[in-house]
Each structure stands twice: as C-alpha cells, then as structure tokens.
Amino acid sequence: MGIHSYMCMRGEKKVRKRLIIEGIITLVIALSPVMFYSYKYMPNDTESLDFWLFEVTSNGFADARTAVWFYLLKIIPLVLLITWFVTNKQWWYHAILIPISMYSFQLYSVITNNSKQVDENEIFYVIAVTMVVVPVVYFIRVKLIDKHVHGIDLDAMDTELQILKEKEELRKEREKLEQRQHTLSKKM
C-alpha cells in the first residue's frame, strides 16, 4: 500500500467522521422543537414520571409535567447555544457564553431549588460572567479592528519600537566612545 492510498484512506475517515458529527448536530437542531414540546405528551397530575434512565419528580412544581416543562425551557436553548458556541468561527463567539451562563444558572436553580425561587437571583452570577466575557470580547475586537480595518499591526509596531530602542542605545554608546576618544586625544 502506497503513501497516496494511505493518505486517501485517512482523508476518507476524516470526511466520514465530520459528516457523522455534522449529521448529529443537524439532527439535534432539527429535533429541538419536538423535544421542547414533548412535555405536552406526558400525563397530567402525576407526582413523578419514570423514564428509562431516570425519574423526574414534581420538585415543588404543581406536577411532574410542569417540572419537565421548566427543565425543557432551560435545557433546549442551552443545548442550542452550546452547539452554536462550539461550531461558531466568528471572532465574537465568546459573547455566546453570556446566554449560556444565564441558562446554566437557571437550569441549576430549577433542578436544585424548590419552585418558589425560579429565575430570581441568577442575574448576579450572569453579571459576574459578563464582567469577564465582555472585556475579553472587546479586546479581541479591538485587536482585529486595529489590524484589519485601520491597518495597524501591533506586532510590527512592537518590532519597530524595539529597533528604535536599539538604535538609541547604539547612538548613546557611540557618543560615549566619541567622548572617550576626545578625552584621550586631549591627554596626548
């Protein structure tokens, strides 16, 4: 088997893997409305719903169906936002972390707390995440705008400043040498 055929097989495996991953992502996105409205097909007025791998209780809500509805209100947008974040190639994709954090904190609150305190104090956690994400996104934006819109290359500027510093140091050294030579010529 030659190198060319090995590379072709490797390329085919990579393409197949990519198609499978993209197919799964597409399937999740396409099925998200069905998953979101699946609570409508669950029985009313039950204290718990038993699924194949887990059980959902009412957790302080009127019934288990209402609890599932609240969970799906948080899980489906969270899954879609995470998918967007992972697959996005834009410079600003870190900003998607803000709604991801919001839905994550809300989901945690809905799952762990009693239903009397749903979506109340998560804003404080989201503000903390926002205070970190916004400066990072702004810094990335400034660097990209400076480089691609204004034509300012910060690396080139740093290099030029370093060269100027070295030239200045060499000029000072030359002046010192000329001073010494002048002093020596007076002594002779």
Percent of the chain scoring above 90 in pLDDT: 15
The whole-number pLDDT of residue 116 equals 62
Q: Is the pLDDT of residue 185 over 90?
A: no
Average pLDDT, the chain: 82
Who's near 38: CB < 8 A, 6+ residues apart? 68, 72
- Over its C-alpha atoms, the chain yields an Rg (Å, rounded) of 31
**Do the beta carbons of residue 40 and residue 68 sit within 8 Å?**
no
Q: Taking 90 as the threshold, does the pLDDT of residue 81 lie above it?
A: yes
Comparing CA positions, the residue from 103, 29, 46 lying closest to residue 71 is 103
**pTM for the whole structure:** 0.64
Query: Is the Cβ–Cβ distance between 56 and 49 less than 8 Å?
Result: yes
Cβ atoms 75, 107 nearer than 8 A: yes
Q: Per-residue pLDDT for 29 more than 90?
A: yes
More confident residue, 17 or 187: 17
Please write the tens of the pLDDT for every residue from 83-133: 998 888 887 888 888 899 888 888 888 888 665 666 667 777 788 888 888
Q: Of 20-29, 86-95, 142-151, where does mean pLDDT reach its minimum?
A: 142-151
The pLDDT tens digits of the residues spanning 170-184 come to 889 888 888 888 887
